[in-house]
Structure 1
């Protein structure tokens, strides 16, 4: 938000739409799912770590070796206290489409429609689903979806960024030596958050937006 220069009509329209969506009462049949991705370098130690002791933190050498990269899909039902994480090699259109299908079929199977908030990455489209699955399957999947996009350069309006920030602080901020280790760590972290039904409380309203940002409106 700090880098906002001008807020045009389209920005305001999308912002207001999201803020209205966020203000709705929770409905598990029509959950609001905030979705984003996290690129992660896989880094391993080159020397053994010195384990922590009472009063002394763990120590590790500054040198490291690279083991490639991975992508982390993150989806959070912030009102219901439920999230899902999937680690993939890439984030192509097909990866996106298969993950969305996973959300519909496996994570929220009882929902009538998923209202998914995301940024404007070129893979985040209904066409990605149409290009990945057979037409009948794609159309059926799309009928259970409703995509909502943040304004351009306004990822701060995507609550998934808050969830990813918590994940970085509590789980993925350190070195992840390989994909399997990353999967193990993020799965354990996600399961614990879901067990606690950890929620995110969004208090930024249209009225607060107008008061705080109106000097940038054009």
Structure 2
């Protein structure tokens, strides 16, 4: 059993009093003049720092950006895909339902019950998205999900344009591990991969869909089984697909060449 109790932890962040910040009574010691200048060692922004003057980075970036400006064509749909690990957590005590006097009460403690993975697929121009719960996120899992889409929703499409991250599971070889050679080849021939640049996964629209699903479906909740996670995920994408909303990607290649000029190699003449 894993304890998530936070009661004995020292206060931190905004909950630390001004006096505690100055004297270090909270366990952190920050000079007073650091607060006056606004420069504290605890103000850190995390993100992806792109490389400087990288030809491979900008080449992949422009391919993806040009893909997003292509008009919608049902024969060549653009499909984004991303994934998210989810811990499965069992309640150790029965939660107390919410009343008019207090919100729903859940005990700090929980029991780990393994992990699962959400595969998020999104077709930005059609306003369609789908979340799938899997026990694993190996090559075979990815190929099985893609095969189901190619033979289902995209059965009439000539070729599906796949925009995805640079993961080692996103390979055509994965289809040969999941299907017989004839089936694998038939599926692969109808796929075209367009990878986001390394350390440039923010160009994948599926990340935005995962963020929305997390806030609307998963945040603040515990799922004890993958069946429960799947049920809630299906309910979410059925709800959002009932009123399709497309994605209008406004950052174009010309914008990148102007605003991200430092990423482009400087040609020596």
**TM-score, L = length of structure 2:** 0.77
Give RMSD over aligned pairs. Answer: 1.6
- 1:157 maps to which residue? 203
Is 1:201 matched up with 2:248? yes
Deviation at 1:131, TM superposition (A): 3.0
Q: Deviations over 1:71-94 (max 9, x none)?
A: 111110011011122211111111
SS in 1 for 2:152: helix
Deviation at 1:26, TM superposition (A): 1.1
Deviation at 1:146, TM superposition (A): 0.7
Deviation at 1:42, TM superposition (A): 0.5
> Following the alignment from structure 1 to structure 2, what is the Cα–Cα distance between the partners of residues 111 and 164?
25
> Following the alignment from structure 2 to structure 1, what is the Cα–Cα distance between the partners of residues 175 and 213?
28
- 1:172 maps to which residue? 218
Relative distance call for 1:26 and 1:53 in structure 2 (3 A) is farther
> Following the alignment from structure 1 to structure 2, what is the Cα–Cα distance between the partners of residues 6 and 181?
45
1:116 to 155, 158, 162: 162
- 1:16 maps to which residue? 62
User: Of the two structures, which has the highest relative contact order with CA contacts closer than 8 Å and spacing of 6 or more?
Assistant: 1
Structure 1 runs of 4+ aligned residues shifted over 4 Å read: none
Q: Which moved more, 1:1-10 or 1:150-159?
A: 1-10
The total of aligned residue pairs comes to 218
- 1:186 maps to which residue? 233
SS in 1 for 2:194: strand
Which of 1 and 2 has greater Rg? Answer: 2
Is 1:43 matched up with 2:89? yes
Deviation at 1:104, TM superposition (A): 0.4
2:120 to 52, 74, 84: 74
SS in 1 for 2:247: coil
Q: Which moved more, 1:128-137 or 1:155-164?
A: 128-137
**TM-score, L = length of structure 1:** 0.94
> Following the alignment from structure 2 to structure 1, what is the Cα–Cα distance between the partners of residues 160 and 170?
14
Deviation at 1:190, TM superposition (A): 0.6
Q: Return 5+ residue gaps in structure 2 as ranges.
A: 1-46
SS in 2 for 1:107: coil
Q: Which moved more, 1:74-83 or 1:45-54?
A: 45-54
Deviation at 1:2, TM superposition (A): 4.8
1:148 to 167, 179, 194: 194
Deviation at 1:176, TM superposition (A): 1.7
